[in-house]
Amino acid sequence: MHEIRTVAVIGAGTMGHSLAQVFAQRGYRVWLNDVREEALPRAQSRIAANLGTEVELGLLEQGQKGGVLDRIRTTTRIEAACEDADFVIEAIVENQAAKKKMFSTLDNVCPPRTILASNTSFMDIFSFVETGRPDKVLITHWFAPPHIVPLVEVVRGPRTAQDTVDGVTALLIDVGKKPIVISKFLPGFVANRLQSALTAEMLFLLDNGYATAEDIDMATKASFGMRMPILGVVKKVDFAGVDQIQRSFGNGLYRSPPHRQHSETMDRLVSQGRLGVKSGQGFFDYGGRSPEEIMQETNVKLIRLREFLKKLGEL
C-alpha cells in the first residue's frame, strides 16, 4: 500500500476541524475543505484554541503550536484538497444523498491510490455509494472530540480490501488512536449500540418517574461508570463470575424497556427550547455559562482523565 503522508478532511465542522488537528499534530500534511468559506477560519481558530489547552496542560510545547497550524491548509475547492491526498475522511452532514454525491466526487478528484473513509455514525454507506474503488472504501467512526477521545471504529464494507483495513489501522495507531475493527456493517457499530441501550433505559427510568436526572447520573458515575475505564463491560462479567451473570441473565427478572422512538421527557424539554449545553438548559441548568466555557471545562477534565488512564496502562 502507498505510504500515507497527506490527509484530506472534508467538512470543517464539529468533527472535521478536530480530525485535521489529530493528523497535523503527528506530522501529516493536511488539507481541510468545506463548502462554506466561513467554516474554514472558524475551524482554524478552534484548532488554535484546542492546541492552547494542550500547551496549558503541558502536553504540547508552545513552540510546536505554529508548526501544527502551518501543516493544515484550508480550501473550499475539493479538487485542491484531494489532488495529492493518500487518505480522505469525509465529515460532512449525515445525509444519504449528500454522502452519495460526495463519494462520487471524491472518486473523480482523488488519485487512484487514495483511500476514502466516511465518518458516518449510523449509515450503511456501502449500500449506496458508487465508486470505482470499493476495495479502498471504509468507515472510520470517530468520537467527539476526536483530538481527545481515543477510540476509532474501523468498519469494513463487503468489498474493502484487507490491505486498506491494515493500512488505516496502522495510520490510526500512528496518530495515537485506539482503532477497533468491525468486520461488517451494523447500525451504531459497537460503542453507539452500547450507549443507545443505556440511553433507552435512562429515558424509561425518567419518563416513568423512577428516579431524577441527578440521581441517574450519580448512579452511573459512582458505580459502573467508575469501574468501566478499568474493566469495560466484558471483563466486568469475569470479575462478577460468568456463572453468576449466567444466572441473573437467565432468571428473566430484567426486561429491557419496550422499543419506542420518543420520550415524553425529551419531547417536553425540546418543546421548551431546552436543548442542552448549546441553549444553556437541557435536563440540567448550566447557570448562564456559555457553551464554549462549559465544553472547555469538560474537555480539560476528559484530557486529564485520559492521561491518567494512560499512566495506569488502561488506554
Least Å from the CB of residue 237 to ligand NAD: 28
Site for ligand NAD in 82-101 (CB under 6 A): 91-94, 98
Residue 34 binds to ligand NAD (criterion: CB under 6 A): yes
Q: Evaluate the CA torsion angle 141, 147, 148, 150 in order and state its sign.
A: positive
Strands 151-156 and 178-182: parallel
Binding-site size, ligand NAD (CB under 6 A) = 23
What is d(CA 309, CA 289) in angstroms, rounded to the nearest whole number?
Answer: 29
Least Å from the CB of residue 112 to ligand NAD: 21
Q: 241 Cβ partners below 8 Å, 6+ apart?
A: none
**Residue nearer to ligand NAD on the CB measure, 47 or 205:** 47
Interface with ligand NAD by CB under 6 A: which range of 30-38, 53-61, 223-231, 243-251? 30-38
**Residue nearer to ligand NAD on the CB measure, 37 or 238:** 37
Residue 116 binds to ligand NAD (criterion: CB under 6 A): no
The closest residue (CB) to ligand NAD is 13
**Residue nearer to ligand NAD on the CB measure, 32 or 202:** 32
What is d(CA 308, CA 133) in angstroms, rounded to the nearest whole number?
Answer: 41
What is d(CA 61, CA 25) in angstroms, rounded to the nearest whole number?
Answer: 12
Residue 144 binds to ligand NAD (criterion: CB under 6 A): yes
Q: Which cell goes with 50?
A: 484546542
The CA-atom distances, in angstroms, between 306 and each of 56, 300, 315 are 16, 10, 8
Residue 150 binds to ligand NAD (criterion: CB under 6 A): no
Interface with ligand NAD by CB under 6 A: which range of 10-18, 106-114, 129-137, 207-215? 10-18
The CA-atom distances, in angstroms, between 193 and each of 188, 202, 297 are 5, 14, 27
- Binder among 5, 36, 227, 235 for ligand NAD (CB under 6 A): 36
3-state SS class at 117: strand
Residue 267 binds to ligand NAD (criterion: CB under 6 A): no
What is d(CA 258, CA 243) in angstroms, rounded to the nearest whole number?
Answer: 27
**Residue nearer to ligand NAD on the CB measure, 219 or 295:** 295
Other CB atoms within 10 A of residue 216 CB: 18
Residue 179 binds to ligand NAD (criterion: CB under 6 A): no
Q: Which residues pair with 153 in a beta bridge?
A: 141, 180
Residue 102 binds to ligand NAD (criterion: CB under 6 A): yes
Q: Which cell goes with 173?
A: 495507531
Q: Which residues bind ligand NAD (CB under 6 A)?
A: 10-16, 33-36, 39, 91-94, 98, 102, 119-121, 142, 144
